[in-house]
Amino acid sequence: MLKAAVITSGGDASGVNAAIRMMISVDLDYIGYHGGFEGIVNETPFSFTKEDLISWYNSGDLFLRSGRTDLMKTETGPLQVKQALMEQQVDVLIVFGGDGSAKGALKLKESGVNVIHVPMTIDNDVEGTDYTIGHKTAVEYIQQQIIRLRQTGRNLGGRVFIMETFGGMSGQLTLASGIAGNADILLLPEYDFSINDIAARISQEKQAGRDSVIILCTESAFQPDEYKNGDQGVISKISEELEPLLGERIRQSIPGYTQRCGDPNMEDQLCAARLGDFVRKKLEEETYSFMAGWKDGSPCAVPLENVRKKEGLDEELAQAAKYQHLIPGERRDSDE
């Protein structure tokens, strides 16, 4: 009987447990590692079955704890992982994670390891797939925060709010959440805007009779060339420059790491479960070395060589937001 090893790697996201549960095949043995790639080298693996996933299925707590590491960026890291898997007689490794984890999976493939990557990141910024596990739950969470800001804005009218979201150098999470939550202004790293642009948009909203103005801002949106992974608090800089122009205080809100957790919503559960079942079928066929992506509403196999960080935004959403004047400024590196 073939043996499959499973890890989660990088930032946590909700829905992974459902995918793991649904990919379990009666024709394979499964072992898991906590801690991502580094866990394969340093942690003791443990066997699991579908029964072990029952109480985890709907939980935002990861059945397999994730981890970040630079191990796969080193010259010897992939070989260390390969050796550890060989010692456990593993036939295939399944990696849940973002584009960085996909790069690690590709290195393992190039070293002779059978590997499957499953996209997992709230940012939804992986090339080759329309969906990444955790994105829909994060969007819903941010949507709810916007709705609550709107409520307090009605209760104490005239206020301007700015909320900072995750996303790294991608504005996709902010764009989707802002449209879902009915934010008034979206600040995205893909668009070059000025403080004067934001002030003008706020004035327009107030002139239109808004009882509050809600700005949603990606963590890297302001001066993205200076952004480093993990930086938070950009909205403080924006507010500091914006307040003198408006002559009023900007109320700031940073949900931070709460965006990445919480029990998965129905959409994430269903999509993750379908991805897991797709992987199960491929495992039974002994088909490896691909990413389980999502295109046109269904799972699909994407060559690992084609997987990287996605450039740009969902064009349909971006055009809709631009038409409704939600996005100030112009595209960076654009002739528009």
Query: What DSSP letter does each residue of 239-271 carry, written as one string?
Result: HHHHHHHHTSPEEEE--GGGGG-S---HHHHHH
C-alpha closest to that of 48 among 58, 38, 33? 33
Terminal Cα-to-Cα distance of the chain (whole angstroms):
57
Cα–Cα distance for residue pair 149/325, rounded to 1 Å: 20
Phi and psi for 317 in degrees, rounded to 5? -65, -40
The confidence band for 299, taking pLDDT boundaries of 50, 70 and 90, is: very high
Cα–Cα distance for residue pair 215/177, rounded to 1 Å: 12
Cα–Cα distance for residue pair 183/185, rounded to 1 Å: 6
User: Does the pLDDT at position 335 exceed 60?
Assistant: no
Are 137 and 14 spatial neighbours (Cβ–Cβ below 8 Å)?
yes
The confidence band for 334, taking pLDDT boundaries of 50, 70 and 90, is: low
Q: What is the pLDDT of residues 280-297, one digit of tens each?
A: 999 999 999 999 999 999
85-92: list long-range contacts, CB under 8 Å, 24+ apart. Answer: 85/5, 85/40, 85/113, 88/3, 88/5, 88/31, 88/45, 89/3, 90/3, 90/4, 90/5, 90/31, 91/2, 91/3, 91/4, 92/2, 92/3, 92/4, 92/5, 92/116, 92/283, 92/288
Q: Which amino acids are annotated catalytic?
A: 123
Measured CA distances, 129 to 16, 105, 295 (Å): 16, 16, 6
Q: What is the pLDDT of residues 247-276, one digit of tens each?
A: 999 999 999 999 999 999 999 999 999 999
pTM, rounded to two decimals: 0.95
Q: What is the pLDDT of residues 101-112, one digit of tens each?
A: 999 999 999 999
User: Does the pLDDT at position 74 exceed 50?
Assistant: yes
Are 282 and 300 spatial neighbours (Cβ–Cβ below 8 Å)?
no
Q: Which residues of 181-219 are buried (b: 16+ CB within 10 A; e: fewer)?
A: bebbbbbbbbbebebebbbebbeebbeeebebbbbbbbb
Q: What is the pLDDT of residues 122-143, one digit of tens each?
A: 999 999 999 999 999 999 999 9
Question: What pLDDT, on the 0 to 100 scale, is given for residue 336?
Answer: 43
Q: What is the pLDDT of residues 27-46, one digit of tens each?
A: 999 999 999 999 999 999 99
C-alpha closest to that of 78 among 50, 118, 113? 113
Mean pLDDT of 232-243: 95
C-alpha closest to that of 7 among 116, 160, 106? 116
Weakest-pLDDT range from 63-72, 116-125, 207-216, 221-230: 221-230
Q: Which residues of 241-254 are buried (b: 16+ CB within 10 A; e: fewer)?
A: ebeeebeeebbbbb
Dihedral angle, C-alpha 116, 70, 65, 39, nearest 10 °: 80
